[in-house]
Structure 1
Amino acid sequence: MSKIAGGIFTSHVPGIGGAIAKGLQQDPYWKPFFDGFEPVHQWLAAEKPDVAVVFYNDHGLNFFLDKMPTFAIGAAAEYRHEDEGWGIAFQRPFEGHQDLSWHIIEEVVASEFDPVTCQSMLVDHAVAVPFELCWPGKEAFPLKLIPIAVNTVQHPLPSPKRCYNLGQAVGRAIESWGGDEKVVVFGTGGLSHQLEGGRAGHINVDYDKFCLRNLAPDPEALLQHDTLDIVELAGSQGVEILNWIAARGALRGSVRELASNYHIPISNTAAATVLLENSDKVHA
């Protein structure tokens, strides 16, 4: 059986790509954020996962306001990154895992979700930035990708509970897969930030730390706020915490935090990185 080794939760601010391209990892503005990935690098080197299942939000690359699926799951043999002008421009493709993708899709539909199935799909900075942070300087990424896009843009948005339940369905699907792959789950985006309007630059440290404090031991605490509450608390883009909530739902074992890092601001955003370990002891 396949195994979910753990989860990586991190901001995907596109400006991080520009910092990587310019070699600013040791710059005082950026260093506290990049330093948070040292334990992640050590854990990945030890665990050597075969597949990354990434919960993220598309920024208009595949879906726009006229056609915005609530959930979309990639089932492609390959995914290519289309740079949006922020600095990370590379031609390396992300190799897909079609068989596991279809298994996840079938099991998620059996759990009464209705995802859009994407046999052709591009990925943007929400996937590319976390991969560059986790495997810096690699000529080829050492694992396969299954992207799962969550609508955090066009209202009505899915509820936190709906996202958490989706993650649980994905976790069950991975656990029931007959292969022997080791899987790492990603939740990307956030934390609190708003890029437009009268609240541009909004950061809510208290809400961010509430999320970080409860993510491992009590993820259902994050479900007490509905989507509009989160927009109010965390900003219109801070609602990307839905990606974290979905990814946390996939970690159905006995979860413990191995590392956590919080740094403000990065490009008007509260940036964070959390590493969770998922044991084989599965909760009912």
Structure 2
Amino acid sequence: MGRIVGGIGLSHVPSVGPVVDRNRTQEPAWKPLFDAYIPVREWLAKIKPDVAIVVYNDHVADFSFDKYPTFALGVAESYAIGDEGFGTRPLPTVAGDVELSTHLAESLVYEHEFDLTICQELAVEHGFLVPMNLCFPHAGNSWPVRAIPLQVNVIQHPLPTARRCYRLGQAIRSAVEAFSGDARVVVMGTGGMSHQLQGKRFGFMNESFDQWFMDQLESDPESLAGITHQKIMQDAGAEAVELIMWLTMRGAAHGKRVHRHYYAPMTTGMGLITFSDS
């Protein structure tokens, strides 16, 4: 039987990747962020997930503005490291879980009526890799967990609603619990928090909104699922709409908060919250 053992909401700021690759994690500007993940890694070592479902958005590496699915699920044996224009990062290929991801695809489409794009091949980029880097140390040619990429459209309007994303998380939980094999699953909702990367509000951040969002995610996620795209973008910047992917995580992961951290040194509110499933 499959089991959700935890959930993580976290930002996927692209500059984290080069900082890791160049061994700059202990520089003053970055140390508070990376130090916050030390207890998270210790917690993950205790709960021992063997699969991570990573909910993220493709930044036009696999898809384009002309062809962008609402939800896309990877069902491949492995996932290559994508090139975002600066060469591929020196990271191991990501092992998939064909059996569980195929079960998820069938359950989400047939039983829960989510119309997914099913992907036999994906090249994962910073939206996926930064969360993996922060949470899972890798040695040699492998990661410590298998992974299933789940892409959500937060790029090309119309976007799925926050409630639809929350319901997707609930459906994922149901599907995992119906899985006949053994799987200890952690669900990662990525993106945000407050930020805007263009226009007159470039560099906009709103810590009070970010803290409120994490408060609600912990105490009343069902109510938070009613938030509109317009509310998020007005209060937290255009790209903060990525936060609807945290609701997918919370729909799947129940239980109490374990960790919480917030750091906003530059252009993006970098949030972190974890839940240990009861």
- TM-score normalized with structure 2 length: 0.95
The CA deviation at 1:86 is 6.3
The CA deviation at 1:135 is 2.2
State the partner residue of 1:282.
Answer: none
State the partner residue of 1:245.
Answer: 247
Helix, strand or coil at the partner of 1:101:
helix
Residue pairs, 1:169-248, within 5 angstroms = 169-248=171-250
State the partner residue of 1:127.
Answer: 128
State the partner residue of 1:50.
Answer: 50
1:28 is the counterpart of 2:28 = yes
1:274 is the counterpart of 2:276 = no
- Matched-pair contact (CA < 8 Å) for 1:18–1:86: no
Distance 1:119 1:208 in 2: 35
Distance 2:116 2:277 in 1: 26
Question: Alpha-carbon deviations, 1:187-211, whole Å to 9, x = none?
Answer: 1111010100111111111110011
- Structure 2 unmatched ranges of 5 or more: none
Change (3 A) 1:215 1:192: same
- Matched-pair contact (CA < 8 Å) for 1:18–1:87: no
State the partner residue of 1:82.
Answer: 82
1:129 alignment partner AA: V
Residue pairs, 1:105-120, within 5 angstroms = 105-109=105-109, 110-120=111-121
Change (3 A) 1:86 1:269: farther
The CA deviation at 1:87 is 8.3
Change (3 A) 1:137 1:54: closer
- TM-score normalized with structure 1 length: 0.93
Question: Alpha-carbon deviations, 1:148-170, whole Å to 9, x = none?
Answer: 10000001111000100011111
Distance 2:88 2:195 in 1: 22
Distance 1:94 1:131 in 2: 10
Change (3 A) 1:228 1:52: same
1:260 is the counterpart of 2:277 = no
Distance 1:131 1:227 in 2: 27
1:238 alignment partner AA: A
Helix, strand or coil at the partner of 2:102:
helix
Helix, strand or coil at the partner of 1:237:
helix
- Structure 1 unmatched ranges of 5 or more: 280-284
| Percent of pairs with identical residues | 43
Count of aligned positions: 276
Distance 2:263 2:169 in 1: 26
1:202 alignment partner AA: F
Helix, strand or coil at the partner of 1:76:
coil
2:125 alignment partner AA: D
